[in-house]
Structure 1
Amino acid sequence: MTQLPPRLAAFHANGADRYGAVTDRGIIDLTPEFGGRFKGLKEVIEAGALPDLLRAAEGRAPTYREEDVAFLIPLANPEKIICVGVNFPDRNAEYKDGQDAKARPSLFIRFPRSFVGHGRNLVRPPESEQLDYEGEVTIVIGKAGRRIPREDAYGHIAALTLCNEGTIRDWVRHAKFNVTQGKNWDASGSIGPWLVPFTEAAQLDDITLETRVNGEVRQTDRTGRMIYDFRYIVNYVSTFTTLVPGDVIVCGTPTGAGARFDPPVWLKPGDVIEVEAQGIGILRNGVEDEA
């Protein structure tokens, strides 16, 4: 993988939740310097201070090795986590309902408690063995707005991260008009590992997105093929709700989820899922059964 740009992460170390800059040599804890001003990375984003933290980390030695911390989801308490469904052409072809996906995007909401951080295990509940994976590029809003024009959309994005939008498949079909039940099991998905500040269109417009399970490539595509591009997503979502700093939008997964195999292939304890996107990094998680 190519060298990654500067990035910021939330993590737990020495008995406390912290945040800092991630480098190729380790993690620089910035909590002692900025913790009095910003409780977490959401507050950093609200203040437009991501560049300040990165500047403060320049030239400093790491405080921790990555393996010595527990990564948290980058934003502990976003006001909104909005997910876009069926956003790649091959993924839409999997649905035989005759609907034109290009008309409007399918959207649903997830709760922060349904996600864990990088390196943590996804949890398979006793009520279902149908835990599935969905690798997705995720944007974080940095500037508030309502009815944001497409041409202004990128100016409202502060950072990028990754999501494994883990799903309990049989529970998304418990009712006719929603998928909420199957999308919000505690610790069923992951977000991370970190935030990459968004500075130019090339970071999003046509990057590679890939999901691997135990090293086997299961999903791969490019964001340039998305049915609803990132500009449209920001424009459309902000039509009905005000987007605020720290809001998270999970932007859709390619074909290749376990539900589409014949027979389906569900995640099980011991599996390792990696979601990788060009210029963002690798989000890696294992699987365990709920205790």
Structure 2
Amino acid sequence: MKLLRFGAAGSERPGLVDESGTIRDLSSIVDDIGRDTLSNATLQRLRKIDPSTLPSVDGSTRLGPPVADVRHFIAVGLNYTDHAIETNAPIPAEPVVFSKAPSSIVGPNDNILMPPNSEKLDWEAEIAVVIGEHAFGLSEEQALSVVAGYLICHDVSERDDQLHRSGQWIKGKSAPSFGPLGPWLVTADEVPDPQNINLWLTVNGLTMQSGTTAKMIFSFRYLISYISRFMSLEPGDVITTGTPHGVGLGMKPPVFLKPGDVVELGANGLGRQQQTVVLRR
């Protein structure tokens, strides 16, 4: 099942994508796609609905982030060996965990707002998981049982703020629009092997990233279990799991985004995103 949210920013409505690719309005069934609708029990109830009985939605309608009111946006850094090498960082012995501000989350095709003084705006295509059940202290064997689904995350990064502001990465990861999610949330039952997802990213049509979750240093199971040792995971939490090689910072010389650039990214089975970089006024 592919769940999404559509409509103007701040006024999104819940929906799903049927087998023909048509968006269907779910607002008569649930109020939104968020903490109260991501449990296994509720998702099972939604699977029983005949999509043809739901109103269709114009395909040109804006898509919002697929999950509403995210309270915790957790990120993992340096989780692909080739990415750590390209950025001259040591291979981590344990997951590098940091946060992105939930206020950075936008829809999959919304503009990237470049901060006025930014000179090192960078891209990172990632696969994220959305938590559907309360969890703390999970074993690796239990970890995937709390996943509601998977989606694409663009972990937009301002490298100067990330790397040269006392080492607190959240500073370079949290500006408005730095967390495009979507286009939809693919429920876990439709992703039988999350360690076999190919992902890619282009800038102005030129391929910059092409990787696979098979090359993650720490698997989805391990990351969810590991993070749950330190904090309670709650429905609606988003964990984005790192990027493969090909970021602008790792190029020689480095290449960074500028106003007017168009970024596209996608993953097999999870859809695609497209953003245009515009200068934030």
TM-score class, shorter: over 0.9
Match of 1:55 in 2: 48
Instruction: Using the aligned pairs only, state the percent identity.
Output: 34
Give the match's secondary structure for 1:252: coil
- Which residue of 1 is the match for residue 36 of structure 2? 43
Which residue, 180, 204, 218 being the options, matches 2:208? Answer: 218
1:283 counterpart (246, 253, 273): 273
Worse overlay, 114-123 or 261-270: 261-270
* More divergent stretch after superposition (156-165 vs 6-15): 6-15
Summarize deviations over 1:49-105 as a string: whole Å, max 9, x none.
2233343242346521221x22111223222111000011101112435x442x101
Give the equivalent residue in structure 1 for 2:135.
145
What is the one-letter code of the residue matched to 2:69?
N
Cα deviation 1:171-228 (Å, max 9, x = unaligned): 1123333212111111123111111000166340212111111222111111111000
TM-superposed deviation, 1:129: 2.8
Per the alignment, residue 7 of structure 1 pairs with: 2
Cα distance, 1:282 vs structure 2:
0.8
State whether residues 76 and 112 of structure 1, in contact with CA within 8 Å, keep that contact through their aligned partners in structure 2.
no
- Match in the other structure for 2:114: 124
Question: Amino acid of the residue matched to residue 11 of structure 1?
Answer: F
Structure 2 residue 69 is the aligned partner of structure 1 residue 74? no
**Whole-Å separation in 1 of the counterparts to 2:194 and 2:21:** 26
Distance 1:104 1:87, change over 3 A: same
Choose which of 53, 71, 76 in structure 2 pairs with 1:84: 76
d(CA) in 2 for partners of 1:49 and 1:56? 11
- Aligned match of 1:248 in 215, 232, 238? 238
Post-superposition shift, 1:33? 3.1
1:273 is aligned to 2:263: yes
Corresponding residue pairs, total: 280
Is residue 193 from structure 1 mapped to residue 188 from structure 2 by the alignment? no
Task: Report deviation, 1:276.
Answer: 1.1
Q: Report if the CA contact (8 A) 1:74-1:193 is conserved.
A: yes
**What SS does the aligned partner of 1:120 have?**
coil
CA contact (8 A) 1:82 1:110 kept: yes
Counterpart AA for 2:3: L
Name the SS of the counterpart of 1:152 in structure 2: helix
Quote the offset at 1:41 in angstroms: 2.9
- Structure 2 counterpart of 1:136: 126
- 1:158 equivalent to 2:148? Answer yes
Structure 1 match to 2:30: 34
Contact 1:136-1:275 at 8 Å conserved across structures:
no
Instruction: Classify the secondary structure of the residue corresponding to 1:186.
Output: coil
What letter corresponds to residue 105 of structure 1 in structure 2?
P
Mapped to 2, the partners of 1:40 and 1:139 lie a distance apart of 14
Contact 2:201–2:263 under 8 Å retained in 1? yes
Partner of 2:252: 262
Q: Structure 1's 177 and 53: CA in aligned 2 closer, same or farther, altered over 3 A?
A: same
How far 1:18 sits from its partner (Å)? 0.4
| CA–CA separation in structure 2 for the residues paired with 1:61 and 1:72 | 19
Q: In the aligned structure 2, how far is the partner of 1:64 from the partner of 1:165?
A: 29
Deviation at 1:262, TM superposition (A): 2.3
CA 1:232 to 1:115, structure 2 compared with 1: closer, same or farther past 3 Å? same
Give the gaps of 5 or more residues in structure 2. none
Query: Relative to 1, partners in 2 of residues 1:15 and 1:189: Cα closer, same or farther, differing over 3 Å?
Result: closer
Q: Secondary structure at the match of 1:193?
A: coil
Kept in 1: contact 2:248–2:254 (CA 8 A): yes
